[in-house]
Amino acid sequence: MDADPKVAIELRWGIEMHADNAGQYGQTAMDLMARFEIPPTPHNYLVWYSYAAKENAALLRTIDILIADGRTFTDAWCDDLYFQFFGQADDAAILSALAENMEESLAGTIAQILEASADTSQFGSALSDVKGKLNALTDAKDETKALVAALLTATQRMERRTLKLEQQLNQSSSQIQDLRNDLESVRTEALTDPLTGIGNRKAFDNYLREKAMHAMEEGSDLCLILCDIDHFKKVNDQWGHQIGDKVLELVSQCLTETAGSQAICCRYGGEEFAFIVPAQQLQQACDLADILRLALCEKCVMNRASGASVGTVTMSFGVAQFAFGEPLPSLIERADTALYAAKHNGRNQVMSEADIPKEPGDQIAIAG
């Protein structure tokens, strides 16, 4: 089970995630960022929220020194602060929790102000009515009229201040919503392979955990396909890394379009891709892998700059089926073993865990 980001932030930096101070810390962070002309990015917000909370002594000391020295908080300085203190953290989840708490806090505060504003407005109307009646009376004392007039003036002044505070809080609420939108972008970028546009290794890990849990809960099948481009190093060596990148893009596009909704495709690393195949048994997943293999064999890669043919790209595939309750690294290991068996057996083919020798002495020697 994933750690609660609210707990994680307390463990890492000791920042209390209570609604009664989250709004105060958040507004202080926004004010400081505006004062020092710091862009309100998610990373910068995390740094300055932590500074406002005064719980991270090292961060507090560092920023205080920078302020005392009159340093300008350039983008480079801001990046250094983030990576020095938070570079290894799951900042998207933590910032999302911060934003959620601040929104709850601000929503409660705005509701209270609106209620107080309504009461103040009613009180002001009542005083205005009393003033009108007093002015109509010939025997009302001047002191009484002056007192009511002063109270009415003070009430009107308070109404204006309340309205201004309400506007400021609404603006802060809008800023927080913008921050949450930025966080969604950060989260998407963190799970996307920048070259191919499909899920990266982190996304794969998340999807596999999710689908394995669902399979156990529903008693349904789940398979994993790992595939690797054959002789990809030769493509890079002969044609250069730019052509190699184009090959990866082509392969990604072909695989995802062919698989469609049957499987989740991610870039596992380098020239290796992974497919998480829900609700399919081992043979069905092998059939899908062969469909993917054949679809790719039909593609011919061309060098647009020279018009030369790079050739046909082939892939080797390894398939394994999830056993309920097993550690996920075991599933990955079996699929990976089947993949390298396919490479050892001549490449451009599909092998499953069922094809792997089970005897201890029948280990497969993998060539490079």
In terms of Cα–Cα distance, which of 42, 53, 352, 70 is closest to 185?
A: 42
**Contact yes or no for 321/281 (Cβ under 8 A):** yes
Task: Specify burial of residue 221 (Cβ count, 10 A radius: 0-12, 13-18, 19+).
Answer: middle
Q: Which of 51, 53, 72, 76 is nearest to 61 (CA)?
A: 51
**Residues catalogued as catalytic:** 271
